[in-house]
A and B are shown apart, each in its own frame.
Chain A
């Protein structure tokens, strides 16, 4: 008979979350014991001793009211601060994170690696290496949940979401879908295999077929005839994609937009949403329904490789100031500053980020 009472922790973040949980639990237990104990003592001490006794009322006390409003609130602010700190640190993957692409569909997880390896309901990652997951859904909302890492993120159709972690303990851990997604929701489960770097290298060597993800993307690019208009090395009827990824694109109407994953996805599925300056609307058909979410991710990786031709498929970084913190995602300067500051504080405190 198994009766686990505490989940395994396979990352430094999981241990941080455990510490927060212990803090919250201890404070809650102390407050509960104080309240229950007081009520218990009052209930015994002031029990009715004769049927006609009438105690004197006490109307209240402003001093007490302020005390028991302010002190709990200050304690709650410590909850808030600690929780927000963990949340912010986890929101932002470090620039050297390795990419894995996750596509959720009813009722399975499909994973692709930049090296071309693909698997279903199983995620293999090495210890000590930051891993960034890009999450896409083909149908309804799912949620990618790894209890041993204490992290979870919804996978929302029409959006790309990212989550990241650095595992520190090899093992075989649960992967759950946490957002109810229909019939086989409870069957949309799998495993996260956290491996030593050597085991991981062996695993990588055995897995790939059909080229890297970027090469797969190149094939999709050819199959869909993208190259007819998007000429790579000279001006065609559509914008060149060389050097596009991570750059700022000037749109008709004067705005600029960062060419990140979401922008590229939108431009494939809904080309008229954002028109590049100097080009006409309605010159590209929508590829909605003609390309799977996995195919789009392969295209994105391919287009990304065009931005850094020397290392196709390698993690890209530092394309723009914002992207130094989250590759492919533009950060508001204030967010970038906050996150950098938090990282510095955390490192100074002996944290593990």
Chain B
């Protein structure tokens, strides 16, 4: 430290981190970057908690009989894993941290449009998380993250209302963040930052924000009705008192399918940034990637019934939902092909963030293709509610979203903290994540086709080998998540100074210092070129 201080490079310049000190300067901040850091810490805690639940699940499933926990405990563990990971990690993850930090900087603004609402949304998130934690501490919830009725409203003896209130409250945080992004992107772009020049990460967050604002109220209403029926026996979903349990599923999936896109779209935005930077090349098919984000947001609202093919829904409704599910796959495919085409004749480097981008494209492709299996009517009848579904959505959510999140961490960490992490460890842990992930979840596709149902505390003995592979993979994956935690914390003090633009990346966020000052830019930037203008001179066109 003392020798480092003499290096003139390490003398601290004023930035958003050292602008003020003390806990009040954090808890009452309206700086979007500090709020992003608050979110980063909060969701990391929730990710760790959800990860502990995941480890307990994999530990129990090492052996066929349910011998480690009681059935009730196991049911609570997988429920809390789902609730914590989905509502308190995946949904806020990229928008609330990187979106918060980067959207204003990428469009050349000083802050989001409503800085106080931004802080409020963090407090609301914390309030929601506290309800969820309270539900865990008081004794847990055992409904599954899907809260299916009438089990959740009438039969479960656990803290359903507390957990539902947690999700309900956290939803408002999501709505407010979305609202803030929409207004910011519409009204606060720097001069010259036209819609056609927006970085694709901003487009992705814009599409996400639309879903957050339009979809989240529906799940809030649905969970409120669950609470009402549970507390006051108003017959809405329980047929014993005049309700319809299938109604719940329509309402729940009307939000929760688009919520999948809330989770994955920002990750796709990250990949567009990574692929261009580490290929040092403009994006191939800018308008198709931007447009496909909006396409996903819109069509994503029309496919919820594919979760319900075996509920006794009308056959014609099944046809409609299956067909539209095929439609929604097209924009995702467009993105994958355009990222690939961007690498064509690029200058590709293998820095850690790019390794995560490679991982994302591969794993997301598998996640997407196996989603088509489930959207195919006759196939879904066999596969739904088996481990095939578990494998599919973990390929999208972990292989896609969490890998994109880690890619974003490694890409923008120098901007957020001003420090570099050790590159060798970065590459090593990226490899661990990739190998561990595939070992964990690929066997689950086979388990699913064999017929092992999900949410089973005990399972048939012939499924053991594949389950042991999965548990072994989970420990490798866990290590792959733990190592970055250690070296990121280490780098805060010992990491070498990053400089303003360690990757030679384009984008306004790289034109300011690292870490940025409170107001991001000394002067409002004026944008004169399109996004990812790595080569300014002559351009070639194909086709």
Name the residue on B nearest A146 (C-beta): B451
- Chain A, residues 100-125, CB within 8 Å of chain B (1/0): the string is 00000010000000000000000000
Name the residue on A nearest B460 (C-beta): A174
When distances are taken between beta carbons in the complex, the residues of chain B under 8 Å from A17 are 378-379, 381-382
A145 lies within 8 A of B453 (CB): yes
Partner of A24 from B312, B336, B376 at Cβ < 8 Å:
B376
B462 lies within 8 A of A4 (CB): yes
- Chain A, residues 28-39, CB within 8 Å of chain B (1/0): the string is 100110011011
A158 lies within 8 A of B245 (CB): yes
A161 within 8 A of B: yes
B435 within 8 A of A: no
A39 lies within 8 A of B343 (CB): yes
A79 within 8 A of B: yes
- Chain A, residues 174-192, CB within 8 Å of chain B (1/0): the string is 1011111111111100000
A348 within 8 A of B: no
When distances are taken between beta carbons in the complex, the residues of chain A under 8 Å from B279 are 46, 55
The distance in angstroms between the C-alpha atoms of A84 and B317, with both chains bound, is 11
- Chain B, residues 99-124, CB within 8 Å of chain A (1/0): the string is 00000000000000000000000000
Given contacts A2-B462, A60-B286, contact A20 B346 (CB under 8 A): no
When distances are taken between beta carbons in the complex, the residues of chain B under 8 Å from A158 are 239-240, 244-245
Given contacts A72-B330, A87-B315, contact A151 B381 (CB under 8 A): yes
When distances are taken between beta carbons in the complex, the residues of chain B under 8 Å from A5 are 446, 450
Name the residue on A nearest B362 (C-beta): A36
The distance in angstroms between the C-alpha atoms of A32 and B372, with both chains bound, is 13
When distances are taken between beta carbons in the complex, the residues of chain B under 8 Å from A186 are 66, 71, 453, 455-459
A157 lies within 8 A of B312 (CB): no
How many chain B residues have a CB neighbour from A under 8 Å? 103
- Say what secondary structure dominates the interface of chain B: helix
CB distance from A203 to the nearest CB of B (A): 24
The distance in angstroms between the C-alpha atoms of A7 and B448, with both chains bound, is 10
B151 lies within 8 A of A141 (CB): yes
The distance in angstroms between the C-alpha atoms of A140 and B358, with both chains bound, is 44
Partner of A157 from B239, B375, B446 at Cβ < 8 Å:
B239
The distance in angstroms between the C-alpha atoms of A69 and B285, with both chains bound, is 13
When distances are taken between beta carbons in the complex, the residues of chain A under 8 Å from B534 are 54-55, 57
Partner of B75 from A36, A139, A183 at Cβ < 8 Å:
A183
CB distance from B243 to the nearest CB of A (A): 8
B326 lies within 8 A of A87 (CB): no
B150 lies within 8 A of A83 (CB): no
Given contacts A3-B466, A179-B148, A186-B458, contact A83 B376 (CB under 8 A): yes
- Chain B, residues 312-340, CB within 8 Å of chain A (1/0): the string is 10011011001100110110011011101
Partner of B361 from A39, A60, A63, A153 at Cβ < 8 Å:
A39
CB distance from B81 to the nearest CB of A (A): 13
Partner of A7 from B150, B344, B450, B543 at Cβ < 8 Å:
B450
A-B contact count (CB 8 A): 306
Partner of A156 from B246, B348, B379, B458 at Cβ < 8 Å:
B246
Which of B151, B240, B341 has the largest count of A CB atoms less than 10 A from its CB?
A: B151
Partner of A56 from B343, B345, B460, B532 at Cβ < 8 Å:
B345
B312 lies within 8 A of A61 (CB): no
A28 lies within 8 A of B370 (CB): yes
CB distance from B41 to the nearest CB of A (A): 33
B535 within 8 A of A: yes
Q: Which chain A residues (181-228) contact chain B, with CB distance < 8 Å?
A: 181-187
A21 within 8 A of B: yes
CB distance from A220 to the nearest CB of B (A): 20
B350 within 8 A of A: yes
B288 lies within 8 A of A60 (CB): yes
A234 within 8 A of B: no
Name the residue on A nearest B461 (C-beta): A2
B326 lies within 8 A of A90 (CB): no
B288 lies within 8 A of A65 (CB): yes
The distance in angstroms between the C-alpha atoms of A55 and B326, with both chains bound, is 36
The distance in angstroms between the C-alpha atoms of A187 and B65, with both chains bound, is 10
CB distance from B74 to the nearest CB of A (A): 8
B144 within 8 A of A: yes
B72 within 8 A of A: yes
The distance in angstroms between the C-alpha atoms of A62 and B281, with both chains bound, is 19
Name the residue on B nearest A1 (C-beta): B465
A58 within 8 A of B: yes
When distances are taken between beta carbons in the complex, the residues of chain B under 8 Å from A187 are 71, 458
Question: Measuring CB to CB, which residues of chain B are less than 8 angstroms from any residue of chain A?
Answer: 66, 71-72, 75, 142, 144, 148, 150-151, 154-156, 238-240, 244-246, 279-282, 284-288, 309-312, 315-316, 318-319, 322-323, 326-327, 329-330, 333-334, 336-338, 340-341, 343-350, 358, 361-362, 365-366, 369-370, 372-373, 375-382, 384-386, 446, 449-451, 453-462, 464-466, 532-535, 538-543
User: 26 A-B pairs, CB-CB below 8 angstroms?
Assistant: A17-B378, A20-B379, A32-B369, A35-B361, A39-B361, A42-B348, A46-B344, A55-B280, A55-B281, A55-B346, A58-B284, A60-B338, A68-B334, A79-B375, A80-B323, A84-B322, A106-B155, A143-B310, A147-B382, A153-B312, A153-B381, A156-B312, A157-B238, A180-B148, A180-B455, A185-B75
List the 10 closest A-B pairs by CB distance, nearest first: A147-B451, A158-B239, A86-B378, A61-B543, A83-B376, A57-B282, A87-B377, A186-B456, A178-B385, A60-B285
With A57-B534, A84-B319, A161-B312 known, 7 other A-B pairs at CB within 8 A are A42-B346, A57-B540, A69-B334, A79-B372, A140-B154, A183-B142, A186-B459
